[in-house]
Chain A
Amino acid sequence: MALAHTRRLNKELAEIHAGTPVGINLVNADTFEKWLFTIEVMGTSEYEAKKFLLMFRFDNTYPISAPAVQFVVDDTHKAPVHPHVYSNGHICASILGREGWSPVLTVIAVCITIQSMLASCKKKEPPLDNDRYVPRAPENPKKVSISLMVSPLLA
């Protein structure tokens, strides 16, 4: 029998196939471990006409704990320059952390949050501690240790 988290993801996938919000498009959901979306900010903003690739990774604690979400950074993709986005693609958003996540949130809800986070950006600059964070950060943003998490929100 299917695991609880794959059943829930299956339901979300059905909703995504039925339609996603403007600017958010599914690229790949071949497995229930990793999904990819493109995020585009609509209207006038600092990120006009730019597309970013957003990666979700799930384990079997989903949806009780948050998925691991980050922007893909490789030869063809870059992370947006934003005070809450590190240059390695890691995102500092309260809903992705232990305190801010709620099991009623969905993949699409996270996409919308990140889209609006980009849309509301007034000044394109990297997080203050970007140079300190990036070389030390683990590959998976969910495994960031507390000592590294000096939030740019507070800084």
Chain B
Amino acid sequence: MSKRNRLQSLLDSSIADPSDFPQRELGHLDSSLTCKICREFYRGPVSLSCGHCFCSLCIRNSMTSKQECPVCRKCANEGQIRPVAALEEIVESWKAARALVLTLATANGESSRLTPEESISAIAGPSTPNKRRKLVSEDGLIDCPICHTFVPFDAINMHIDSGCKSTSTPSKPKQKAEWSKVFSKRSKDSAQESDPDRRLPKLNYHTMKEKQIRELLSQAELSTAGDKNALTARHQQWTILYNSNQDRSASQRQDLERIRKELKKWEAEGKARKVDIDDTDEYQRLHKQDFIELIERARRSRFHSHKPQSSRGREGGSPIEEPEVSEVTDPIEVD
């Protein structure tokens, strides 16, 4: 699909937005229940010691680049993160009630803007593509539009009818097995390790051997491919995803298989960003024209910028500024 089409389909899909409400007060209530980082309803809300709240995943990701509160910039670290159970409950209740409130509000506010069907599709959460088929992943799980847990597609109606209570039942036996798998190998003190609320500790990967990291990954049933940097990045992200899942209340948690999938998705995104060049000769051949053009442009700009200086006796050295060209070889690399 072309970039343009993908964008269009994204724009066409309905997205919950505070501006859905004609009344400013309701819009404000709506936006106050969203995370300031992702701008979506809090998922596993946590607070820092300064009192500001974020989605657990958002703030944990943010802390990988900077250890401070994004709102007030006070120093913060992972140790301060505390789940806010009450806020989670409020958000979940609001998400469930939002469509109803929206219908009432729009009927009340002005001549009804939305048909009932439209207002249902305006329920909470991430952009919801209109086509239902798109929501079902390969393993037949579907993201519940109300509570955002993954439920087998066949059971989604029953799940919603029962007020999202039956969420974890289908995966529970599996979940238990996963837990025991994870912990039986690692644990000496099984009583402490089998605590379902346990968070993974932050590790100092620098002092660890590649083999140790690989072992940790295989214990968590994750891929052990790649060099130490790749292993470290994978385990770091796994820790973030795992711990942010732990910050949600037990009924909202996803099973480990689901988190593994998210990790895979994250890695795929990273790969898309960092273009892997297998055949360098082929790559050079393909982009030869681009290189020539860029070198030409670099020469020209160098010529222009150095002209006044050379008249003062500075003669040019190498024909091309090195940084200009090295920029070209990996244009999408970040950091």
Contacts and interface: CB of A to CB of B under 8 A. Distances in A.
Q: Do A and B come from one complex?
A: yes
A3 B327 CA distance: 26
Interface string B16-55: 0101000000000000000011111000000000000000
A87 B4 CA distance: 32
B306 A59 contact: no
Contacts of B4: 30-31
A152 interface: no
Given A104-B70, A134-B305, A12 B39 contact: yes
A147 to B, nearest CB: 10
Contacts of B61: 64
Contacts of A134: 305
Interface residues of B, number: 39
A31 B38 contact: no
Contacts of B306: 135
Interface in A127-155: 131, 134-136, 138-140, 143, 145
Interface in A55-72: 59-61, 63-65
Nearest to B273: A60
Given A60-B273, A135-B301, A139-B327, A10 B127 contact: yes
A102 interface: yes
Q: Could you tell me the dominant secondary structure of chain B's interface residues?
A: helix
A59 B36 contact: no
B3 to A, nearest CB: 6
B269 A3 contact: yes
A131 B127 CA distance: 47
Given A8-B38, A59-B273, A61-B334, A138 B58 contact: no
Given A11-B15, A103-B36, 4 more contacts: A4-B38, A30-B7, A64-B61, A65-B65
B321 interface: yes
Nearest to B332: A59
A2 B3 contact: no
Contact of A11 (B7, B39, B70): B39
A7 interface: yes
B11 A7 contact: no
A47 interface: no
Nearest to A32: B7
Interface string A4-46: 1011101110110010000000000011100000000000000
Contacts of B11: 10
Interface of A: 1-4, 6-8, 10-12, 14-15, 18, 30-32, 59-61, 63-65, 98-99, 102-104, 131, 134-136, 138-140, 143, 145
6 contacts: A7-B38, A7-B40, A59-B334, A99-B66, A103-B62, A103-B70
Interface of B: 3-4, 7, 10-11, 15, 17, 19, 36-40, 58, 61-62, 64-66, 68, 70-71, 73, 126-127, 134, 269, 272-273, 301-302, 305-306, 321, 323-324, 327, 332, 334
B58 A103 contact: yes
B127 A2 contact: yes
A135 B305 contact: yes
B3 A31 contact: yes
B65 A2 contact: no
Contact of A64 (B17, B40, B65): B65
A138 B323 contact: yes
Nearest to A99: B66
Contacts of A31: 3-4, 7
